[in-house]
Amino acid sequence: MVTTVYRAAYGDRVRHRRRIIQRGDGNFTFDEEVWLPEEYVDAPRAGMEFELAEGFDTASWIGLGPWENCPDRSSAALRGRWSSPIDELTVPYILPQENSTRLENTSHWWKLPDSAATVVHVDIAHRRVGTGRLGPDTRSRHRLHAGHYAWRRHLLLEK
């Protein structure tokens, strides 16, 4: 088990605990916990991130799909088992920061730096859509607040 304290963008400290269990079949179970500090009044997301080794070109998941969805727009998605080439999981929004929570600061998706890496985000919670900049802000009950979040995920690797 590894416990890490991260310093967030505005200096807040976020505590994260991860326990990784490698199962006999070569797959993994992740037990994750994160504590968002009291100073966090509106976090964008809570979850885990990891990078896959080269060689994976398809993603499969059980959950909502086949297209992207957000917690407050999820009724448009269907629950099931989905599979997609990784290269097709990107939606070319005008601002790339609006897709997959990209952090690169660029004005257009085609200006994103090329990368051979596949970075996977598995989130337990997301802030709902809307910032109040061009319309109503997200209601308080739909924001991520300070507190404890815990989840378990199973990673099945197939080549």
87-142, pLDDT tens digit by residue?
Answer: 888 777 776 655 655 555 677 767 777 777 788 878 888 887 767 777 778 888 88
Domain-located, residue 50:
no
For 99-112, letters b (16+ CB in 10 Å) and e give beebeeeeeebeee
Domain-located, residue 121:
no
Domain-located, residue 23:
yes
Q: Please tell me the pTM assigned to this model.
A: 0.70
Domain-located, residue 63:
yes
Domain that holds residue 26: 1-45+126-159
Domain-located, residue 59:
yes
DSSP 3-state of 141: helix
Q: Provide the domain count of the chain.
A: 2
| Single-letter amino acid code for the residue at 128 | R
pLDDT in tens, 44-99: 788 888 888 888 888 888 888 888 777 777 778 899 999 999 888 877 777 665 56
Q: Under 8 Å CB-to-CB from 114, ≥6 apart: which residues?
A: none
